[in-house]
Amino acid sequence: MHPAPPLPSNTAYVPFVSVANMMRLVHDIGLDVMLHELAHYIEEDFRRWPEFDKSARVASHSEVGVIELMPTSDGDTYGFKYVNGHPKNTQDGLQTVTAFGLLANVATGYPELLTEMTVLTAIRTAATSALVAKYLAPAGADTMALIGNGAQSEFQAIAMNVLCGITNVRLYDTDPRATTKLARNLEDQGLTINCCHSAHDALEGAQIITTCTADKQFSTILTDNMVGSGVHINAIGGDCPGKTELHRDILLRSDVFVEYPPQTRVEGELQQMPSDFPVTEIWQVMSGTRPGRVSDRQITLFDGVGFAIEDFSALRYIRDRIDGKPYVERLDMLADPDDPRDLYGMLQRAAPIASCGS
Ligand code: NAD
The CATH code of the domain that includes 254 is: 3.40.50.720
Q: Which of 45, 173, 215, 239 is catalytic?
A: 239
Query: What is the structure's pLDDT at 215?
Result: 82
Q: What would the DSSP string read from start to end of 23-59?
A: HHHHHHH-HHHHHHHHHHHHHHHHHTGGGSB----EE
**Coil vs helix vs strand at 191:** coil
Q: Are residues 141 and 232 in the same domain?
A: yes
Q: Which of 236, 245, 271 to mutate to test the pocket of ligand 1 (most atoms within 8 A of CB)?
A: 236
Q: Report how far apart, in Å, the C-alpha atoms of 223 and of each of 134, 203, 229, 248 are.
A: 25, 11, 13, 8
Any ligand 1 atom below 6 A from CB of 261: no
Structural domain boundaries, residue 81? 12-119+310-341
User: What is the 214 CA–ligand 1 centroid distance (Å)?
Assistant: 3
Please say if 239 is a catalytic residue.
yes
Cα separation, 303 vs 17, in Å, equals: 31
Query: What is the structure's pLDDT at 352?
Result: 65
Query: What is the structure's pLDDT at 3?
Result: 46
Helices (H) and strands (E) counted in the chain, each on its own, are 11, 17
- Dihedrals phi, psi of 17, to nearest 5 degrees: -110, 115
Q: Which of 68, 129, 174, 213 to mutate to test the pocket of ligand 1 (most atoms within 8 A of CB)?
A: 213
Any ligand 1 atom below 6 A from CB of 239: yes
Residues 6+ apart with CB under 8 A from 236: 125, 129, 152, 156, 210, 211, 212, 302, 304, 305, 306
Atom from ligand 1 closest to the CA of residue 85: 34
Return per-residue pLDDT of the chain as tens, 358 residues. 444 444 445 567 899 999 999 999 999 999 999 999 999 999 999 999 999 999 999 999 999 999 999 999 999 999 999 999 999 999 999 999 999 999 999 999 999 999 999 999 999 999 999 999 999 999 999 999 999 999 999 999 999 999 999 999 999 999 999 999 999 999 999 999 999 999 999 999 999 999 999 887 888 999 999 999 999 999 999 988 988 999 999 999 999 999 999 999 999 999 999 999 999 999 999 999 999 999 999 999 999 999 999 999 999 999 999 988 888 999 999 999 999 999 999 999 987 655 554 4
Q: Are residues 108 and 197 in the same domain?
A: no
Any ligand 1 atom below 6 A from CB of 148: yes
Residue 2 lies in a domain: no
Phi-psi region at 38: left, alpha or beta (left = phi > 0; alpha = psi -120 to 50): alpha
- Quote the pTM value: 0.94
Q: Are residues 218 and 283 in the same domain?
A: yes
Q: Are residues 182 and 297 in the same domain?
A: yes
Residue 83 lies in a domain: yes
User: What is the 4 CA–ligand 1 centroid distance (Å)?
Assistant: 45
- Dihedrals phi, psi of 101, to nearest 5 degrees: -150, 165
